[in-house]
């Protein structure tokens, strides 16, 4: 089933609020003005850069593609490339203010938020209209003791809703992307939980290719408990699946999608609350996003200080030193030289 973009935009702006929102790489691409890639583009670029041939066809399941890629270029290299291309590529100068504002408007109409990205920068805008002084992230694996806590200190009053990250977060070293990682860490449970957040209501999917069998299967298995499912994109890559899952496909170009939804939601707000919030955000959203980007780029220096402190403690065990090195690799960072040279590191 298909409906025009204008009809869908009016629906969620006027009487279809309270939906569960799923966002993917498209949210990051739009916010960063295209400096970050989608998964297909990422896989293709890495395959070319490392002369990996052949990879599974582009229509194949994404966890299988990522499994093959990680095997061929090595785990350490794979995680480092993820960081450089998906996180470090987020640059302050490339941030698109109009897209960020539009994403905040869309997030304001959602009751639950799920990001299938592996960084939290692209999720930040979606809570700005819901009290941007807080950000609460939820992942489905334990974080490393060497990673930071994913809660931006809140102020008294309203707290923003949590954002769920079924694929984990690279900053916490707990990413679940390849098929084997899914199988070991019950990735299917994580995506099923993401579906369950929409039980009894509508599910809106934006900026996602749905090239993940685990995800499509979870939607099918739980379809009876969901109301409407709306998938926005320029092309329906899974027409038979979307037919069986009773998905309403909303055809719209990526250039139109974010601004079109944000503008429609803002114009429909006759009470004026979102207009007031939008004015406040324009004065601060870019600065806050830039600060978040700077904090991400400062993590390597912080890890170096952690390493110097850890190595300087005589009672630090081989296991603890090695655990730190393993975290650095899992999070896509270079292991500090001082750790590699320490005789207690068994990496």
Distance CA(342)–CA(297), nearest Å, equals 26
pLDDT for 251 equals 95
pLDDT for 150 equals 58
User: pLDDT tens-digit profile of 170-200?
Assistant: 998 888 888 898 888 766 678 888 899 999 9
| Angle ∠(308,309,312) on CA atoms, nearest 5 | 85
Distance CA(222)–CA(195), nearest Å, equals 7
pLDDT for 85 equals 94
Structural domains of the chain, ranges and CATH numbers in brackets: 5-35+90-297 (3.40.50.1220), 299-340 (no CATH)
- What residues contact 130, with CB distance under 8 A and at least 6 apart? 107, 108, 158, 160, 161
- What residues contact 90, with CB distance under 8 A and at least 6 apart? 28, 32, 35, 36, 119, 121, 122, 293, 296
pTM: 0.91
pLDDT for 155 equals 66
pLDDT for 1 equals 79
pLDDT for 270 equals 83
Answer whether 121's CB lies under 8 Å from 171's CB: no
pLDDT for 107 equals 94
pLDDT for 187 equals 63
- DSSP code of residue 157: S
Distance from the Cα of residue 147 to its chain's centroid? 17
Burial of 251 (0-12, 13-18, 19+ CB in 10 A): middle
The helix or strand, by DSSP H or E, that contains position 151, with its residue range, turns out to be: strand 151-152
Distance CA(104)–CA(124), nearest Å, equals 9
Segments of the chain with pLDDT less than 50: 58-59
Q: What are the CA-CA distances from residue 37 to residues 32, 128, 308 (Å)?
A: 10, 24, 34
pLDDT for 248 equals 96
- What residues contact 212, with CB distance under 8 A and at least 6 apart? 61, 62, 63, 191
| Angle ∠(229,87,89) on CA atoms, nearest 5 | 110
């Amino acid at each position: 089933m298909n409906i025009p973009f204008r009809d869908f935009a009016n629906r969620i702006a006027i009487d279809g609020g309270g939906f569960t929102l799923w966002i993917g790489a498209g949210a990051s691409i739009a916010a960063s003005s295209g400096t970050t890639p989608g998964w297909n583009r990422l896989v293709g670029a890495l395959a070319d850069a490392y002369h990996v041939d052949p990879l599974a066809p582009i229509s194949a399941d994404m966890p299988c593609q990522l499994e093959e890629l990680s095997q061929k270029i090595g785990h350490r290299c794979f995680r480092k490339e993820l960081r450089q291309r998906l996180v470090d590529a987020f640059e302050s100068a490339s941030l698109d203010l109009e897209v960020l504002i539009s994403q905040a408007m869309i997030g304001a109409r959602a009751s639950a938020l799920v990001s299938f990205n592996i960084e939290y920068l692209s999720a930040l805008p979606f809570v700005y209209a819901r009290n941007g002084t807080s950000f609460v992230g939820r992942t489905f694996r334990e974080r490393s003791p060497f990673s930071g806590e994913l809660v931006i200190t809140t102020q008294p009053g309203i707290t923003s809703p949590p954002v769920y990250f079924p694929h984990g977060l690279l900053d916490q070293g707990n990413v679940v992307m390849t098929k084997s990682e899914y199988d070991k860490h019950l990735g299917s449970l994580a995506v099923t939980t993401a579906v369950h957040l929409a039980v009894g209501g509508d599910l809106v999917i934006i900026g996602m290719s749905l090239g993940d069998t685990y995800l499509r299967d979870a939607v099918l298995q739980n379809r009876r408990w969901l109301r409407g499912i709306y998938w926005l994109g320029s092309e329906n890559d899974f027409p038979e699946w979307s037919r069986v899952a009773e998905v309403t496909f909303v055809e719209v170009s990526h250039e139109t999608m974010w601004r079109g939804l944000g503008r429609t939601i803002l114009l429909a707000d006759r009470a004026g609350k979102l207009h007031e919030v939008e004015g406040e955000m324009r004065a601060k959203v870019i600065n806050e996003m830039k600060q978040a980007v700077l904090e991400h780029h400062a993590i390597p220096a912080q890890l170096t200080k952690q390493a110097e402190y850890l190595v300087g403690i005589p009672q630090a065990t081989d296991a603890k030193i090695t655990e730190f090195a393993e975290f650095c690799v899992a999070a896509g960072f270079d292991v500090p030289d001082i750790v590699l040279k320490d005789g207690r590191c068994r990496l």
